[in-house]
Structure 1
């Protein structure tokens, strides 16, 4: 069984997703004369806890052998950005992307390497996709139990770039046409066309621009003097889900041929907080009349689990929760081989003990077992095992503030290589459990500010020799043998008090 999405070469694996963590970087400023932006279009998909932004850059090389293009984000946008990916338009292969400035700089620069350097006057279209966490805020901040919810999003109207831009526009796409308001100011007319309005609403889309002939804008002076904040106030009829903490434990057992996953989840509805008191009668009325229920109240959570999951369990601080529904799926065979367990997904629907209104929290534990053969393989050339462990189970649209994943390997295993799906902090420990003698190597991954895009696979290569496989059964056998010897010795020892019959006579 091949591992799901196992890379053909470990050395060739390149991490494309960018995780923004504090670092100390120094780089030369980008050359503004290297490129010209013929057209820049930014599309912002407004959401709840996460916001997806897609920016298309049509660039023209002004020099020969131009191999590096530089993107720019403001400090505020960079601090909110959790995930980033860049591609050539029409290609599915992400390009290498790395941050080249420190996190405390007013402008964040990201260097993109072209697969092939551009010639003079050669053009290319780049697509930069970013996901921001906690970028939208409830407005108003509190609502009553039977009132709808609205969110507000703000950002700079001009797309920052170290290069001159011929034309650019920015689009806000709301989940529904019900837009409460949007910022429309005449101060945007400096770069706007004289006969056009700077901002236009059409259905569920608000468009700012086009703006023409913008000089290199990735400077603190431009941000201070020219950049203008614009935003959209929109109705949001979904739950704003945040996971403040997630603690995952993955334990690998060769003797049981099992991969056990256990998640301790802190769940929060980050939408508009409840104004006043919770009314149980109103809640029951909404259950009887679903058309009156507010969709921003979290009533259940659906997890898409891999195929062949077995023995799922779900409990909270009170005890076992029976309000859950599990729909298992199995892998199928293709040409006599099993398919990936991620091709067909099992569904686990969890219903908390109470509805989660805005600002409410719920803590629970979710666990399940999976066949180890679906996630591990043996490399005879290295004499090592390669196992894939899911980093997290994604909740669509959720923001993860703090995630810790602990992978427990078999006892006495030796770690050869660790490949996380993105850059993350790694710690190594030793875990002891029942009948262990030398303990189990444990790898702990710690990350912050994640989204469902980070639900990748951790690949771990490790070796377990024959002695390690036999260590536990030998330890158990030695324990039972010692117990039998002690019992035999006690049976042979006579502890009764005997009297001397000759002396009595």
Structure 2
């Protein structure tokens, strides 16, 4: 037991040495002279154990290579969407590859909202290892054979929220909105990359104040291209910063409560959503002028006047109201697959402004409720499509079942 404690102590000590450097090692030496005088055989044992731990934690990462990486970073809305296409090279490896590790830098990990992956167009199971690491599990039929060179293609889709920062933070009513995007010039990966290219998609205006230049870099009307870059070491980071115009709706649902009530008596299902919405773009500086807003079409270009919500095509008795009462400034259009509700609040939303409303409807239970005898299955979306490129910070879904129901 004493030996195990000593090994544990030395493992912690060596980790600190690796982080702190040689100078800190001398400090630790003077602080723990008795431990430093332990037999070198114990040190040798610890080194072997440490090497084995590192080998297990990064199994085959040194043998696996990203043969070619193509990234597309879309920052044309309030969301940041990154599509990554990786051609995996397993020619160095003596074992077949049954998983692929996706890494995120600290900044990206804070804002990740969605991740999915495919190999040769087949969906992969994504498992979260920690906040910065995800493991793509390959089945026996999908595993990349040992010695296989640049033939398997893995595609990774990620979506990030609140990754764009308004700069300046406040603007006048007539000013355009500028935002900053911070990312990585290179594909953050635990594997070496042979060659890589990144394309950044901008808003339709294509107006850019400034952006990071790492040769070779090229700019067109709506795209900034970085690379190709060759022989990139694992976990390489170089800050990517783009300051550009983005007047798309920065609309965030700060709170959503969705109540679904099933009634056997009326054979209807009622859905009601209580929604708090906030404009999270650059805040309005100064007073709001209704006259200037109506006089100039481009005045308040970053403000939000309305948004479109998609409802089930068979929804009926739709209502849209707030604490004052019914909001009549809305329209409803029938589409092929949805009803489109054009919701217009009582006032336009500028940065820092918010609104609160209720949206509800009824739908026949035979459209959503399946049954086999006395066993019922309710199949309904977790949330409706509130608006394009929506961000929902907090959501609560309540389902009210008929009295006497049991699981």
TM-score category (smaller protein): 0.7 to 0.9
Q: What CA distance in whole angstroms lies between the structure 1 residues aligned with 2:300 and 2:119?
A: 41
Distance 2:70 2:210 in 1: 19
User: 1:275-290, aligned counterparts within 5 Å?
Assistant: 275-286=285-296, 290=297
Q: TM-score, normalised by structure 1?
A: 0.66
Per-residue deviation, residues 143-197 of structure 1 (Å, max 9, x unmatched): 1111211221111212121111101122211022523233335xx5xxxxxxxx3
Equivalent position to 2:250, from 240, 252, 255? 240
Structure 2: tracts of 5 or more residues without a match: 1-55
Contact 2:76 2:201 in 1 (8 A): no
Residue deviations 1:340-370 (CA, integer Å, cap 9, x gap): xxx7111111111111111110000111101
Task: Name the SS of the counterpart of 1:118 in structure 2.
Answer: coil
1:98-497 matches, within 5 Å, as: 98-101=127-130, 103=131, 108-115=132-139, 116=141, 117-122=143-148, 123-185=151-213, 188=214, 197-217=215-235, 227-286=237-296, 290=297, 292-328=298-334, 344-380=337-373, 383-394=374-385, 395-415=387-407
Distance 1:350 1:43 in 2: 32
Measure the CA separation in 1 of the matches of 2:266 and 2:371: 16
Deviation of 1:30 after TM superposition, in Å, equals: 4.3
Distance 1:145 1:375, change over 3 A: same
Distance 2:175 2:138 in 1: 50
**TM-align CA RMSD:** 1.8
Alignment partner, residue 18 of structure 2: none
Q: Which has the larger radius of gyration?
A: 1
Contact 2:86 2:154 in 1 (8 A): yes
Other structure's SS at 1:100 match? strand
Say whether the 8 Å CA contact 1:250–1:389 is kept in structure 2.
no
Give, in whole Å, the separation in 1 of the partners of 2:210 and 2:117. 29
Cα offset, 1:283, TM superposition: 1.9
Partner of 1:95: 124
- 8 Å CA contact 2:127, 2:137 repeated in 1: no
Distance of 2:323 and 2:291 partners within structure 1? 26
| Alpha-carbon distance in 2 for matches of 1:118, 1:70 | 14
1:69 equivalent in structure 2 = 100
Tell me by how many angstroms 1:328 deviates. Answer: 4.1
1:44 aligns with 2:73: yes
Cα distance in 2 for residues equivalent to 1:263 and 1:377: 23
How far off is 1:272 after superposition? 1.3
Structure 1 residue runs of 5 or longer lacking an equivalent are: 1-26, 189-196, 330-342, 416-505
User: Does the 8 A contact of 1:59 with 1:125 survive in 2?
Assistant: yes
Deviations 1:197-234 (A, max 9, x none): 332212211112222112222xxxx5xxxx22112122
* Aligned-pair CA distance for 1:34: 4.0
**Paired residues, what number?**
345
Alpha-carbon separation, structure 2, partners of 1:88 and 1:312:
43
CA distance in 2, matches of 1:30, 1:138: 41
CA distance in 2, matches of 1:403, 1:299: 24
**C-alpha contact (below 8 Å) 2:70/2:197 kept by paired residues:** yes
Provide the rounded CA distance (Å) in 1 between the counterparts of 2:113 and 2:102: 16
